[in-house]
Amino acid sequence: MIPKKTIEELIIKHANLEKDLSSEKIEKKEFAEKSKEYSNLSTIIDQAKNYLSFEENKNELEKILQDNNSDEELKKMAELELADLKTHYQKNEKSLKLFLLPKDEADKKMQLLKLEQARVALRPAYLQQIFLKCMKK
């Protein structure tokens, strides 16, 4: 289980970044850094919000299931929704745990190195295509 405070801090950080990025008094370098961080957080923010609302939604569905005045069809729907809610909760928790793992700078450097190697490897083929097109004209 992920501490509630950690998830709330993610949501607050996302909101603060959004506010900072919309302000006019931000330098280009700082804007680029914050944009990258905002983009990174945006990928997980909906899951974080759903993760936080799980207990409240679960309690509401359990109340419906325990209520003797609820009809059977409503109870069946609540059961299905509760099962779906639990499944989504587990998926959200897994995604959030992966997101919260510390990032390794060596991984970034390795990705950049692989991209550069791919670019260098493809360059001769690209130049050959251009040469052949010119020769056809």
Helix (H) or strand (E) holding 21: helix 4-22
* Residues contacting residue 113 through CB under 8 Å, at least 6 positions apart: none
The pLDDT of residue 5: 93
Q: Are 3 and 97 a contacting pair, CB within 8 Å?
A: no
Mean pLDDT (whole number) for 94-121: 75
Domain boundaries, the chain: 4-101, 104-137
The answer, yes or no, to whether residue 4 has pLDDT greater than 80, is yes
Task: Please report the pLDDT score of residue 9 as a whole number.
Answer: 94
pTM: 0.67
**Range with lowest mean pLDDT among 11-20, 46-55, 105-114, 118-127:** 105-114
| Alpha-carbon distances, residue 26 vs 38, 40, 61 (angstroms) | 14, 19, 46
